[in-house]
Structure 1
Amino acid sequence: MYSVEGDTVLEPFAGLGTTGLACMIANRNSIGYDIDAEIARAALSNMDRGVNVLNSVIDSRLKRHLAFLEGLSDEERLRCYRNTHYGFDVKTRQETAIQIDRLCQIGKTESGFICRYENSNSLQDEDYNT
């Protein structure tokens, strides 16, 4: 599945709520439902995570990318592009403008969550430069 920030993702099988969680982390809107109301409630319960928990997923993703870069050969690094926000190498030109906004607030509603995002990082800028 491909989506960009702000898209709405439809999840017709709410299951454990993992698609909804992924959308919360990636600044996507999501609509999840399930024919079984109990499963839908369980999905909402599973999605009820704190800001710090979800931001730790973002931090982990960025750290895994840095580890991936360390494993590239010098020749492979020469074919990389540069991300303008983080200052580290990326594999495709499409990734040069990616900035993963961290969550700053999660509000709970009767039927879901409303997330607010900030444009900052938990890691210092020098941690991203490679």
Structure 2
Amino acid sequence: MSVVAPRNRRLRRDERIAVHYDAGIRPAAVQFEVRDGAGALIGRVDLAWPEVRLAVEYDGDHHREREQFRRDVERLNALRLAGWTVLRFTADDVLRRPERTAGMVIAAFARLGRRSRG
């Protein structure tokens, strides 16, 4: 993906997903709701591969605001305690380093897939 955007431009959902499709990665779910063992909502993740409990999140500038950051940390901890691996990326990661970003997702998926098969 060769799109270059101004630093303050918000990524559209299709731009975020396109990085993964360009690399041959098809997310199993978009805006996936992760629930705990009792069925309570932990949170919604941008992209997910539930079979290996891998989530990809895109953090825009609003995630740097104090209250949003606090909520993000709380949710990230809950996702990890529920057994999820969460990769977090910025707009720069997606727009300026899409190959590196996709490579990290592929590596995590491969590692988790091997672990889930025993």
Q: TM-score, normalised by structure 2?
A: 0.27
Higher relative contact order (CA 8 A, sep 6+): 2
Calculate the TM-score normalised by the size of structure 1. 0.25
More helix by share: 2
Structure label with greater radius of gyration? 1
